Structure 1
């Protein structure tokens, strides 16, 4: 029997898990009804479409992500860094029509200088710290907007976001570079060279990007090499900008194997090494901790 429901609600997707009282996952479901496709009035319906069959009586829902943005179900606000990752006591209750539901939405985290925000990643950080409470260092969360999060004494001390993933998607899908990136495959040597160039000379990034197109036209650069070099250049430039976060720090990565693995490979060349944990597992661990805190 479902004890409560965990929800990770992003801009493009809704993921939900029926949870047992012991924190075990009983069932899982997802849909493409992300925050970006809904008005505030549509969130309850979207949730019931995905998880309604799990609800047999009064049921608590604990949610994180863009569902708590200004354009979401309810504005859950931000905790301001430096701070501990927001937990159940900081959650905002969302309005519902179905009296079987009690929906609690976790806040994000903001930073004033430099201005920055996160929604969803803070729950992954909370899950990581629930499992490794003594961690003191930097957590890298690769994604569309990669986060570098400095952790000390169980607090998010500071963080920086980089739009590397979104830039890769835009450049590979909408720029002139798209003509040379068709197909699958990956060239690790091209990736490594791209990382080195992006890290050592980030001021030439836009020129080096156009060089990918020129190499394709003049020297028949293979799509696998072009795609890997594009990724390498962007990640390398990010590493140049985030050096104060990873240089000489204890590192951990939260993310999918392929993307987090690319960051691990890039940093290993700089003698910066850290272990990876799964993003979904950390999200669930964070939501479980928030549910426990609600009592």
Structure 2
């Protein structure tokens, strides 16, 4: 292939994904590894990056590399300070770690912060920028499901406010480390959609009963033989349902975009449908890449 004109990188806690881009932003090549933030020291970031992109670098020039995600966390490569909302989802100043290679210059996208109530995001802001790259006039709510789900209110090209819920992390803890684990199916056994939908309605409409509903999964397994697949599906529904209740003030009567077209994104779309709302889903990877591509325009401004 020809050398990359620029390189985009999405650096998560568990994985690193990189994209070689041509001058027009087209993808020439892509690669990934499991060298996420969770397994690296600051000194290991550049070698992990170079292991993937070394063959894309033109020896006659310096190639800019723009990184979003956890490389900019306090525990990452170098901290990229948060930008306070309301603001455009992506902008400078970018963090610029020192690198040994003379062939790259690295820029790390800062995350976003909210003073009241206190909240932060890192990585999702780039996906939001990708949404706005394709829909510059979008006004509404962007939902970003994940370990720590985000709901962001977008107005006039800016993130006005946002809300984080630890739904994915709670599901992982409860299904694998709590007493509920004894009645849970393995992840590969699929979803009982009826059990999921009923659980969403249960906690979204009566959130005060959430804690009792959780233990009821264990009791029904012991007394009524609740099937492990149904139990896992109901746990997912209870947690996503309480998330829907918590975020209702944001998504109620607002156009909503879900960033994620995989199984988790489909669950969120189903949950909104159960509650009388609707949402369109878009690819998370595509939004991250579109956001990084758009953010390259900010680099020259940041340098000046």
CA distance in 2, matches of 1:163, 1:233: 13
Are 1:73 and 2:50 an aligned pair? no
TM-score normalised by the chain length of structure 1: 0.97
Q: Is the 8 A contact 1:143 1:255 kept in 2?
A: no
Are 1:222 and 2:227 an aligned pair? yes
Are 1:197 and 2:199 an aligned pair? no
Counterpart residue number, 1:41? 43
Counterpart residue number, 1:13? 15
Counterpart residue number, 2:246? 241
Are 1:172 and 2:175 an aligned pair? yes
CA distance in 1, matches of 2:274, 2:207: 17
Query: Shift in Å at residue 292 of structure 1?
Result: 2.9
CA distance in 1, matches of 2:185, 2:135: 42
CA distance in 2, matches of 1:175, 1:83: 40
How many residue pairs match? The answer is: 294
Deviation by residue 1:120-168 (Cα, 9 ceiling, x = unmatched): 0000000110110000011101111110000001110000000001111
Counterpart residue number, 1:278? 283
Query: Shift in Å at residue 48 of structure 1?
Result: 0.7
SS in 2 for 1:242: helix
Deviation by residue 1:185-209 (Cα, 9 ceiling, x = unmatched): 2111111110011112222212111
Q: Is the 8 A contact 2:153 2:159 kept in 1?
A: yes
Where in structure 2 are the equivalents of 1:110-189 lying within 5 Å? 110-183=113-186, 184-189=189-194
SS in 2 for 1:205: helix
CA distance in 2, matches of 1:286, 1:122: 8
Q: Which runs of 5+ in 1 are unaligned?
A: none
RMSD between superposed Cα atoms in Å? 1.2
SS in 2 for 1:140: strand
Q: Is the 8 A contact 2:185 2:231 kept in 1?
A: no
Q: Which runs of 5+ in 2 are unaligned?
A: none
Q: Indicate which of 212, 215, 222 corresponds to 2:217.
A: 212
SS in 1 for 2:96: strand
Q: Is the 8 A contact 1:8 1:65 kept in 2?
A: yes
TM-score normalised by the chain length of structure 2: 0.94
CA distance in 1, matches of 2:194, 2:228: 13
SS in 1 for 2:152: strand
